[in-house]
Amino acid sequence: MAMNVPPPRDEEAEVASDVLPCGRTLSAVWEACDDGTTAADPHLAACPHCSAAVADLGVLDDFVRRERATEAEAVAEAERARATSVTDRVMDLVRRELRPGRPLPLGEPAEDLWLVESAAARTFRAVADAMPGVRAGSCRVAPVAGAGATAEARGPLRVRIEVAAGLTWTVPELARVLRERITRAARETLGLDVRVVDIAVVDVLVAADDDAHRPNGRPR
Amino acid sequence: MREAEGTSTPDALLAVRAGEGDEEAFEILVRRHGPVLLRLASRLLGDHAEAEDAVQESFVNAWRRLPEFRGEAAFLTWMYRIVTNRCLNQLRARRPTTGLDAVPEPVAPEYQASPVRAAESTAAAAALSDALAGLSAEQRACWVLRELHGLSYEDIADAVGISHPAVRGRIHRARRQLMEVMGAWR
């Protein structure tokens, strides 16, 4: 970019030394604007220097508002296309670097059949996601501890799944239904010998709120 | 998995799933947050093609690092950090470091189409965009993250890799400079 200004060096000193003719610092006046506390200080409205500083910031804010409004409007089409193409490229690369996890024993003890953990976890998460108001998070599948389990040992398995659930569920009811469905899916869909299903409810889901995806509440 | 029925899966759950190797959960995160991160990168780099590359690389980088992601920050905040970092590195690499006494350089041709102008078309946006192009990379990053993306000072400090007071300083300086330019336009 064009650097038609020298690089910032004494900004912090500049902030402190930016004093208006009335003795207030510019940064204090702008902070009052940011915090919405200008009304609490009669000097700001009475003083021509301070009110000019407030007005200047207002002009800039106005541009910001317009910029945000524009972005909310029609830019959409081209932007969506770009976002889609980036998503496709990202996922192409990601699929070349999958993390399938450990192999899990499948079928009868005499067989040499294995299923990777990520595939089993996908099935169990889907079981949870299919329940109304339930969303799965972490799901780990491993040999039951103490069964002399090494990574490659054949033996019974333990599933540990975390879910978020809406307030319509009580935890015991949710745990009972989910445990039963996971055990059944393990047996009937996958052919895995799952003996233990640990369920942790890690979050409460409140009906679709998009604000949950923003780092803080401010609009953009 | 598909994002269909009513309740959408919170980012935190998707990020954990992605960390455990669930690429479909990761795809939902990329679709959900790609647009805003592209907008950020376009504003910082002033070029759509470069912005796409930066965001693409940032997401692939995130996929590799997700197994270590402990959720101490929100996923999007974490992505803001990765993308900002990536863009600042690119801006710093564009030209040799300007010395303290360096003579101001004329506007580079690549910047005729400057950060916001590329995306927005109103006169105000164009004026703001030109004014933004005159800021240093860090000033611009701080100001854009604060005013156009609504990040907290703490998150900006993290994203840009400077102290909290330094963020305030950059934003203050940016505002002063933007006002000078916009004052003439008003």
Q: Where does CATH 3.30.70.1350 sit in chain A?
A: 103-205
Å between B161 CA and nearest CA of chain A:
15
- CA nearest to A129 within chain B: B1
**Closest-CA residue to A214 (of B13, B152, B58, B128):** B152
**Closest-CA residue to A124 (of A174, A176, A171, A194):** A194
pLDDT value of position A4: 52
- CA nearest to B113 within chain A: A1
Identify the weakest region by mean pLDDT among A133-137, A139-143, A144-148, A190-194: A144-148
Of A3, A60, A91, the CB nearest to B105: A3
pLDDT value of position A95: 96
pLDDT value of position B186: 52
pLDDT value of position A55: 87
Beta-carbon contacts of B15 under 8 Å, excluding residues fewer than 6 positions away, are B25, B29, B66, B69, B71, B75
| CATH fold for domain A103-205 | Alpha-Beta Plaits (3.30.70)
Mean pLDDT by 10 residues, chain B (186 residues): 64 96 97 95 92 98 94 92 96 64 39 47 70 90 94 94 94 91 66
Å between B79 CA and nearest CA of chain A:
11
Q: What is the dotted CATH code of the domain comprising B1-95?
A: 1.10.1740.10
**Spans of all domains in chain B:** 1-95, 115-186
* Alpha helices (runs of H) in chain B, residue ranges in sequence order: 11-19, 23-45, 48-65, 75-94, 123-133, 137-143, 153-160, 164-185
> Is the pLDDT confidence value at A117 over 70?
yes
Of B20, B178, B179, the CB nearest to A121: B20
**Which residues partner with A104 through β-bridges?**
A115
> Against a cut of 0.90, is the pTM above it?
no
Give the Cα separation of A132 and B34 in Å (integer).
28
Give the Cα separation of B132 and B147 in Å (integer).
12
What is the per-residue DSSP string for B59-100?
HHHHHHHGGG--SSS-HHHHHHHHHHHHHHHHHHHHSPPPPT
Cβ-Cβ contacts under 8 Å, A210 against chain B: 8
Give the Cα separation of A38 and A50 in Å (integer).
10
CB contact under 8 A, A215 and B77: yes
pLDDT band, residue A146 (cuts 50/70/90): low
Give the Cα separation of A144 and A208 in Å (integer).
37
Per-residue pLDDT, averaged over A179-196, amounts to 94
Q: What is the ipTM of this complex?
A: 0.80
Cβ-Cβ contacts under 8 Å, B9 against chain A: 129, 135, 164
pLDDT value of position A216: 42
A51 in Cβ contact with A45 (< 8 Å): yes
Q: What is the dotted CATH code of the domain comprising B115-186?
A: 1.10.10.10
- Cα A170 → chain centroid: 25
pLDDT value of position B38: 95
> Is the pLDDT confidence value at A103 over 80?
yes
Per-residue pLDDT, averaged over A120-124, amounts to 97
- CA nearest to A85 within chain B: B52
